[in-house]
Amino acid sequence: MTSTSVVSSSFAELELLPAVLSAIESQGYTEPSPIQAQTIPALLEGRDLLGQAQTGTGKTAAFALPLLSRLELTRREPQVLVLAPTRELAQQVAVSFSKYGQNLQGLEVATLCGGQEYREQLGALKRGAQVVVGTPGRVIDHLDRGSLKLDGLSALVLDEADEMLRMGFIDDVKRVVADTPKNAQRVFFSATLPAEIERIVDRYLVDPVKVAIESRTTTGENIEQRLVRVEGAAKLEALSRILEVEPVDAAIVFVRTRAACTTLVEQLTARGVNAAGLSGDLDQSLRERTITRLKRSKVDVLIATDVAARGLDVPRITHVVNYDLPQDSEAYTHRIGRTGRAGRSGVAITFAGFRETRKVRWLEQATGQQMSEMPLPDEAAIRAHRDQVFQLRVRDALVQGADEQRALVEALVADGQDPVELACVLAALARADEAPIGRLPAPRERNERAPRERGERGAPRDRAPREGMTRYRVSVGHKDGVKPGQLVGALANEGGIEGKRIGRIDIRNAFSVVELPNSLPPSILAKMARARVAGRELEIREDGGAPERAPRRRQDGDAPIRRRHSA
């Protein structure tokens, strides 16, 4: 395997197509990042490449610029295929290709991922898109339909290969890589190199160039970094407690997907929190209005995705909460840097389960700072905090006076009411609207193995779903050759949620049962129902708990059995 070193100090020194070079220069880019300087020359030569780099290092441009420069625009068929693990990343990559190729006449970029209408995707493919960007499940669906053909492919890019492995897409990835023409250029990027990824590299890459970029991140010393051990089902209650007890002026809560952003805004608003969302769905004018509302204290809690919060600078932000763990250390550094700006102090709180300890340690190692473990406020602490807040309100009211109520109180005392008892009753009436304190599920012990999940053999089938989850039935099972990872990937991408929010999966013969969060809105469930696995739509519906029946053996003289599949 060949390694490279930095070869150019400016984009002008690279042999990019003039139209591509003018596009990046018009956007103010003149100097390539380290990964771009090392990757672009090798890809322009048509070499296979293995890049080890995090998000935020400029790796999208590192492969997009040279591959755009090698396109044959007169050929109206897919020439570049990029596989990405999530819908959000796929859309970002597609936008980057369009932006860098804005001066290429006849360039067509197709995005194939969940949450989009097939008609739009089919239209782009029929128009002869030269660049196709998609998630593995949707790409395979188009391959099976015959709407996507790879015969003319000249380059395949696998972005964030280790994340594909984690999300259960590895079999889909192998299928696509195997279907790619043998003479096509293969470009793999991965932050880490698990054994399974190395095996794919050894099998499919021919004498690849290896580019490894170390991640260097720093965080402000004036930001206090804390860690809260909390599992997915308890995150909402944990966040509510923190927002109530912590001295928050304004906070940004980071989630991974746009769907999670919408859901969390709805959940917090229902709990009386003055929250708003900031995600990639917002156009520029609405984004600016939301930020203005935050600056003017019309909004106190902003739920945001990484991309949407880029460059956000609001002085009143005192807290950042990583509701979902970031993809990499660069994203973490950017997130917590939204507080503690211009010399002010700030607090960054990260939610993580015990299973995510390795990623937490990796973030600490990358940033050079350790997160202090923060216990969640218990019921007694919340009540004490509410009592303190009420006492302050009473003292302020005593200073201002309430003479208009004096006659009423004097009349009640004259009727023989005990003054202290009367004050208790009035305090109870004044606090009647306080929200009830939610219940936190018992935390899983650090060394406790999770119960059998994801369809493991021998998993109990009839137990109740975990707290905060609902069981749903989907229309594929063992007879379709489906695996748990395929269901996780399809549901996560189509619904725009994190795979870790999906609970136990029990694969039966004709159908499967999946646990999903109670909080999912009907629109997300409808999108999930349209996801395709093993060539079939999932047709998701709430599970009524009816067991799967074995078909009755037909006896001589019986009428033919007409089976009705319930899944």
Average of pLDDT values for 53-67?
A: 82
pLDDT at 269 over 60: yes
**DSSP H helical segments within 15-86, as ranges?**
18-26, 34-44, 59-69
- Residue 559 in any domain: the answer is no
Contact 113, 138 (CB under 8 A): yes
Which are the contacts of 330, defined by CB distance < 8 A and separation ≥ 6? 54, 55, 56, 57, 215, 217
Together in a domain, 173 and 36: yes
Cα–Cα nearest to 49, from 164, 191, 185, 182:
185
| Domain identity same for 128 and 239 | no
Name the percent of the chain lying above pLDDT 90: 35
Query: 520 and 491, same structural domain?
Result: yes
Q: What is the mean pLDDT of the chain?
A: 82
Per-residue pLDDT, averaged over 75-93, amounts to 90
Do both 420 and 345 map to the same domain? no
- Domain presence at residue 181: yes
Rounded Cα distance between 166 and 161, Å, is 9
Per the domain annotation, does 407 fall within a domain? yes
Residue 554 belongs to a domain? no
Q: Helices 235-245 and 258-270: crossing angle, nearest 10°?
A: 60
- 3-class secondary structure, 412: helix
Can you state the percent helix, strand and coil of the chain, rounding each to 5? 40, 15, 45
Residues 156 and 184 in one domain: yes
Whether residue 88 sits in one domain with residue 187: yes
Residue 560 confidence class, pLDDT cut points 50, 70, 90: very low
Q: Is 205 contained in some domain?
A: yes
207 and 169 housed in the same domain: yes
Query: Would you say residue 454 lies in a domain?
Result: no
In the chain, the number of structural domains is: 4
DSSP 8-state secondary structure symbol assigned to residue 53: -
Q: What percent of the chain has pLDDT over 70?
A: 86
pLDDT value for 404: 79
- What pLDDT sits at residue 552? 43
Q: How many helices (H) does the chain have, and how many strands (E)?
A: 19, 21
Residue 233 per-residue DSSP state: G
Say whether both 207 and 325 belong to one domain.
Answer: no
Quick one: pLDDT band at residue 402, thresholds 50, 70, 90? Answer: confident
What span, in angstroms and rounded, lies between the C-alpha atoms of 270 and 263?
11
In a domain, 566, yes or no: no
Q: How confident is residue 5, by pLDDT bands cut at 50, 70 and 90?
A: very low
394 pLDDT band, cuts 50/70/90, is confident
Residues 192 and 213: beta-carbon distance below 8 Å: no
Q: Are residues 81 and 159 in the same domain?
A: yes
Q: Distance of CA 343 to CAs 219, 221, 339, 567, Å?
A: 13, 10, 10, 59
Which strand (E) or helix (H) includes residue 507?
strand 505-507
Residues 263 and 121 in one domain: no
Spatial distance between the Cα atoms of 235 and 228, rounded to a whole number of angstroms:
10
Q: Could you tell me the CA-to-CA distances from 379 to 235, 382, 392, 423 in Å, in that order? A: 16, 5, 20, 24
Determine the pLDDT at residue 68: 96
Query: Residue 455: pLDDT above 80?
Result: no
Domain assignment of residue 252, yes or no:
yes
Tell me how far apart the alpha carbons of residues 387 and 431 are, in angstroms, rounded to a whole number. 10
Distances (CA, A) of 505 to 137, 168, 259, 492: 18, 13, 21, 13
Higher pLDDT, 307 or 486: 486
Residues 208 and 227 in one domain: no
How far, in Å, CA of 66 to CA of 36, rounded? 10
**Cβ atoms 16, 290 nearer than 8 A:** no
Edge-to-edge order in the sheet of strand 209-212: 2-3, 209-212, 49-52, 185-189, 155-158, 80-83, 131-134, 109-112
Give residue 458's pLDDT: 39
**CATH number, residue 248:** 3.40.50.300
Is the domain of 231 the same as that of 348?
yes
Whether pLDDT at 564 is above 90: no
Q: In which domain, by residue range, is 161 found?
A: 2-212
DSSP state of 404: G
- List, in sequence order, the alpha helices (H) in 135-283: 136-145, 161-166, 170-179, 195-204, 235-245, 258-270
Alpha-carbon distances, residue 121 vs 1, 67, 221, 406, 437 (angstroms):
37, 22, 47, 71, 47
Q: Comparing 545 with 168, which gets the higher pLDDT? A: 168
